[in-house]
Amino acid sequence: MPTSKIFVTFPDGTKKEYVAGTTALDAAKSISEGLAKAVLVAKVNAKLVDLSFEIKQDCTLTLLKYNEKQQDKEAQDVFRHSTAHLMAAAIKRLFPNAKFGVGPVVEEGFYYDIDVKLHETDIEKIEAEMKKLVDEKHPFVRKEYSKKEALKMFLHDELKSELIKEKGGNGASGNQTDDESSRVSVYEVDGFQDFCLGPHVPNTSFIKAFKITKLAGAYWKGDVNNVQLTRIYGISFPDKKMLDAHLKLLEEAASRDHRKIGKELDLFSFHEESPGAVFYHPKGTIIFNELQKFVREEYLQRGFSEVVTPLVYDKSLWLTSGHWEHYKEHMFVFNVDGKEVSLKPMNCPSHCLIYRTQTRSYRDLPIRIADFAPLHRNELKGVLGGMTRVRKFNQDDAHIFCTIDQLSDELNACMDFANFVYGKVFKMVYHLELSTKPEKSLGTAEQWNIAEDALKNALESNKIDYKINPGDGAFYGPKIDLHIKDALGRSWQLSTIQVDFQLPGRFGLSYEGADGQKHTPLMIHRAILGSLDRFIGILIEHFAGKFPLWLSPVQVRVLTVADRFDKYAYDVAKRYKDAGLRAEVDDRTESIGKKVREAQLAQVNYILVVGEQEVKNGTVTVRRRDNMIVGEKKAEEFLGEVLGEVRERRV
C-alpha cells in the first residue's frame, strides 16, 4: 500500500511535502535542529496543537516560539499554562489529597484554584518540587477518553467531575454535548491528570524559570455559596534572565501602585461600605475634573454635544437593547414600584431614547452625543482591584449616529481623536486590536461584514498596524480597542471604537434620506479615555505620582524663609491663583530644607522660595520637584511661563 503524501504550507509561503502522519515537531526538524529546539507549540490551519500532533492532511503550519528574542503571545500562554500543570503536579506530590479546579493563564502569569489548605511557608517547598519535576523531564501526554470514562477517572474529584459534566464534548474543540460517548481530552504529567483542552509544551524541562507570587482565597466559580479554594498564583519564563527582569519590574510596579501613591498624596480612598467605588478626595477630584475639562474642550472642537442622562431604567429598556439577554449577570437589578429595574452599565440605550425624541433627516446627521454619567457593573468582589477594576465608574462615553456613507469619515475622526490624546498629548506608545464577530451575536452576516470591513479600512487607511482578535467583539458589533504601554512596559486597554447596526434597529431609530424614504442610522460607540477611574489609576502608575503640571493638584507652593515674608508670599500666591493656577503657601516655622523636602514628596511641580532678596527684587527662587534649581526669576515672568506650560498641556 503506497504511503500517502501531504503538503504543508508555512507562513512565508513555502510549501513542503511530507508523509501523512508527520508530527509538527518532525516538520520543524526538517527545517533545522535549531528551530526544533526553540519551538514550543504549533498552529495547524490556525488551530493550536501540541508538537506531537500528527498532520494527516494538507494544511498551513505555523511554529511558535517563546524566548527572549521571539515572544509569540499564543506560545507564551501555552508555556504559562504548562507551568500551571507543573505546579499542580508538584502540589499533588506534596499534598496527595488535593483536588484541583481550574488553572488558567491570566495577564500576569497563571493561577490554580485548589481544594487544599496552603500557607506561605509551603511556597518554597512547592517551588523546590517543581524544580525536581523540571530536572526529571516529564512529558505532557495528551489522551482522549469518552465522557463516561473521564467521569470515572475523576470520580473522587468533585470539581473536575463538575467541569466534565458541564463541558462534555471533544476536549480539543470544546463542543458542548451531553452525549456520553463524546470525547474529552486529558493531559498527564508525572501522574497528575487534568481535564484540559491543551496544548502544552513537550516536557517539563522546557520550563526553566518560575516563581510562585502569592496565595489567595477564591470561591469555586466565584460563587460565595460554593466551597472556598486556595488560589495560588505564579509566573514563568523560558530563562532566568527574563524572570529576574520581571521580578524587578514587579518591585517597581509595587512602588508605583496607584493605591499606595493615592493614599500618600491624599487623592482618593476605598471603603467597604461601597466596594468597587472610588471616593475622590479634593486633590483627586481636581485630576478627575481636569481630565473631563480636557475632553470637553475637544468635544467643542470635534462637534460633540454633551447630555446628562438618568442612572436607573426599567427592564423593558434592556429587553429592547438586548442587554437583558446578553449582559444581565453584570447588571445591578432591583425592584421599584413592583417592577424590575437596573442601574445602567452603559449609556447607549439612553442615547437611543434621546435620538428618538425628534424626526431626523439625513441633513441632521451625523449626530454626536457625549455623556459622563456614572455607570455601574456588577463585578465579582474577588476581582475588584483599586481603580483598575471597579463597579462604579465614569466614561468619556459618546455615540455617533450616522449614515453608511458617513461611516468612514466618522471612524477616521475617532482614530484622529484617539491619536491626539495618546500620541500627541500624553505621548504614550499604543497599539490597536480589531475584535470580530463572537459566537453569540445579534444581526446578519452581511451587517457584520460591512462593520468589520469599515473598521479594517479605517485602520489601514490611517496606515496603522493592528492585531485581529477573532470572535472577541461585542454581541452587537465589532470593535477596535486601543492598548497603551505604560512607563513599565505594561499594556492597558483603554479606548474603544465600535460599529453597531443592531441598537438603532431594535429601538426603531430612523432618518429621512435624500430619496424621501425612511432609513435606519448606524451607531458608533466611542470612548477615548475609557473609564476615567481606570485611566487615572494607570496615569498615577505611569507617572509614579509625578503628574504633568496641567493635571497636578498643587502646581505651585510658595515657601517662606521667615514669617516676615509671609505677606509677600501670599501676594504672589494670590496673583497665581487669580491667573488660574493651583497655588498655596507654606508659612510654617520649619526649616526651608524640611519645607522643600515635603513639597517634593507631595509632588508639587514648582517650589518657590521667598526671602529678603526676593521681596526686594519682586522675584521668586524656583526649584523643581526633581530638586533642580531653576534660579531667581521675576514673579510675573515665571507666572507667564507656568501658564504657557499649562495651556500647552506639556507632559
Residue among 549, 446, 557 nearest 502 (CA): 446
pLDDT of residue 362: 96
367-371 vs 305-307, strand pairing mode: parallel
Residue 611 maps to a domain: yes
Confidence of residue 218 (pLDDT cuts 50, 70, 90): confident
Three-state DSSP at 335 gives strand
- CATH number, domain with residue 613: 3.40.50.800
Residue 275 has pLDDT above 60, yes or no: yes
Residue 550 maps to a domain: no
- CATH number, domain with residue 128: 3.30.980.10
List strand residue ranges (DSSP E) for 177-308, in order: 183-189, 192-195, 209-219, 228-237, 268-269, 279-280, 305-307
Do residues 187 and 101 share a domain?
Answer: yes
Which of 208, 234, 253 finishes a domain?
253
392-402 vs 367-371, strand pairing mode: antiparallel
User: Which single residue is written with the C-alpha cell 507564551?
Assistant: 76
Q: Name the residues annotated as catalytic.
A: 348, 377, 395, 397, 399, 479, 525
Which of 65, 95, 110 finishes a domain?
65
Domain residues for 216? Answer: 73-253
pLDDT of residue 175: 33
Range 480-491 average pLDDT: 90
Number of domains in the chain: 4
pLDDT of residue 396: 96
Residue 367 maps to a domain: yes
Do residues 60 and 79 share a domain?
Answer: no
- CATH number, domain with residue 14: 3.10.20.30
Do residues 562 and 465 share a domain?
Answer: no
Do residues 78 and 127 share a domain?
Answer: yes
What is the DSSP secondary-structure string of 278-291?
Answer: -EE-HHHHHHHHHH
Model pLDDT for residues 103-141, shown as the tens digit of each residue: 899 878 999 999 999 999 999 999 999 999 999 999 999
Do residues 601 and 516 share a domain?
Answer: no
Residue 376 maps to a domain: yes
Residue 140 maps to a domain: yes
Q: Out of 61-70, 116-125, 332-341, 527-536, pick the least confident.
A: 61-70
pLDDT of residue 223: 77
Residue 155, phi-psi category: left (phi > 0), alpha (psi -120 to 50), beta (remainder): alpha
pLDDT of residue 162: 87
Residue 647 has pLDDT above 90, yes or no: yes
Residue among 84, 136, 143, 135 nearest 109 (CA): 84
Give the dihedral sign, CA 433/374/580/299.
Answer: positive
Residue among 62, 19, 470, 79 nearest 237 (CA): 79
Give the dihedral sign, CA 537/538/539/542.
Answer: positive
Contacts of 570 (CB under 8 A, 6+ apart): 558, 585, 587
Confidence of residue 170 (pLDDT cuts 50, 70, 90): very low
CA dist 478 and 461 (Å) reads: 18
Model pLDDT for residues 415-434, shown as the tens digit of each residue: 999 999 999 999 999 999 99
Residue 104 maps to a domain: yes
Residue 146 has pLDDT above 60, yes or no: yes
Confidence of residue 173 (pLDDT cuts 50, 70, 90): very low
Do residues 144 and 186 share a domain?
Answer: yes
Q: How far is CA 277 from CA 138, 217, 376, 511, 604, in A?
A: 47, 22, 9, 40, 27
Do residues 179 and 101 share a domain?
Answer: yes
Mean pLDDT taken over the chain = 92
Do residues 102 and 204 share a domain?
Answer: yes
Residue among 412, 407, 413 nearest 499 (CA): 407
Residue 349 maps to a domain: yes
Do residues 479 and 399 share a domain?
Answer: yes
DSSP letter, residue 191 = T
C-beta of residue 356 within 8 angstroms of C-beta of residue 508:
yes
Do residues 234 and 352 share a domain?
Answer: no
Residue 324 maps to a domain: no
Residue 180 has pLDDT above 50, yes or no: no
pLDDT of residue 356: 96
Do residues 94 and 57 share a domain?
Answer: no
Range 331-337 average pLDDT: 94
Do residues 536 and 582 share a domain?
Answer: no
Predicted TM-score of the model (pTM): 0.79
Q: How far is CA 369 from CA 153, 174, 512, in A?
A: 57, 41, 19
Bridge partners (DSSP) of residue 512 are 361, 518
CA dist 42 and 23 (Å) reads: 10
